[in-house]
């Protein structure tokens, strides 16, 4: 993230983020968008890529995702994700799951159509992202990820609402 020091100071810097374990960059971007709409941009340049260390164990992975999900409550993003979950995921996965109980030709067609639509949407998104990060081999996994991701997303969102997380050897009960 790049910004002018004067803009950083006029926005109050990282003030207001004290109750959160991490996310200063995200919250600063949210402040910028709120105070100066349309002034932020994504710069598609490989020299600007910053990588996050990969979690080494499943426990670390889950703790990281809980920490990230807890930040979504800040800045109104929770409303976005609730809308996303209730609209897209329930529409594409809960409804077809309920219809599968009837297990007739039309419910199978609806489930297949919902899955195909999700896969095609994901593939369209990833066809632009994966080459930039030199990760084209992941394109083959979109079919599986398209099934698993909504369940993973919902589970992590729910877990983040009720469980504490540990980060840098400290335990947090909130964001």
Report the C-alpha gap between 57 and 44 in whole angstroms: 31
DSSP for 107-151 reads HHHHHHHHHHHHHHHHHHHHHHHHHHTT-GGGGGGHHHHHHHHHH
Q: What percent of the chain has pLDDT over 90?
A: 1
Interatomic CA distance for residues 12 and 19, integer angstroms: 16
Please name which of 1, 156, 171, 155 lies closest in space to residue 70, comparing C-alpha atoms: 156
pLDDT recorded at residue 159: 80
**Calpha distance 174→161 (Å, rounded):** 9
Cross-strand pairs, 172:
165
pLDDT for 106 equals 76
Q: Reply yes or no on whether the pLDDT at 141 is more than 80.
A: yes
- Confidence bin at 64 (pLDDT 50/70/90): confident
pLDDT at position 84, please? 56
More confident residue, 167 or 144: 144
In a 13 Å sphere around the CA of 125, the CA atoms on its Cβ side amount to: 9
Residue 6 has pLDDT above 70, yes or no: yes
* pLDDT tens-digit map of 70-124: 776 655 555 555 545 555 555 566 666 666 666 677 777 877 787 788 788 888 8
Contact, 123 vs 139, CB < 8 A? yes
Please say if the pLDDT value at position 19 is more than 70: no
The pLDDT assigned to 74 comes to: 58
pTM of this prediction?
A: 0.61
Give residue 18's pLDDT: 65
Give the separation between CA 138 and CA 116, rounded to whole angstroms. 18
**pLDDT over 60 at 33, yes or no:** yes
């Amino acid at each position: 993230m790049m910004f002018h020091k004067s803009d950083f100071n006029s926005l109050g810097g990282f003030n207001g983020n004290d109750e959160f374990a991490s996310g200063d960059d995200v919250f600063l971007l949210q402040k910028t968008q709120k105070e100066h709409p349309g002034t932020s941009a994504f710069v598609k340049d490989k020299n600007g890529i910053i990588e996050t260390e990969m979690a080494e164990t499943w426990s670390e992975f889950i703790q990281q995702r809980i920490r990230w999900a807890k930040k979504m409550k800040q800045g109104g993003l929770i409303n976005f994700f609730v809308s996303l979950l209730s609209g897209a995921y329930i529409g594409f996965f809960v409804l077809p799951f309920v219809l599968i109980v009837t297990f007739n030709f039309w419910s199978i067609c609806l489930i297949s159509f919902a899955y195909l639509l999700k896969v095609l949407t994901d593939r369209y998104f990833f066809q632009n992202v994966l080459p930039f990060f030199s990760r084209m081999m992941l394109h083959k996994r979109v079919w599986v990820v398209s099934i698993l991701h909504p369940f993973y997303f919902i589970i992590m969102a729910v877990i983040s609402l009720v469980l504490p997380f540990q980060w840098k050897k400290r335990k947090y009960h909130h964001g």
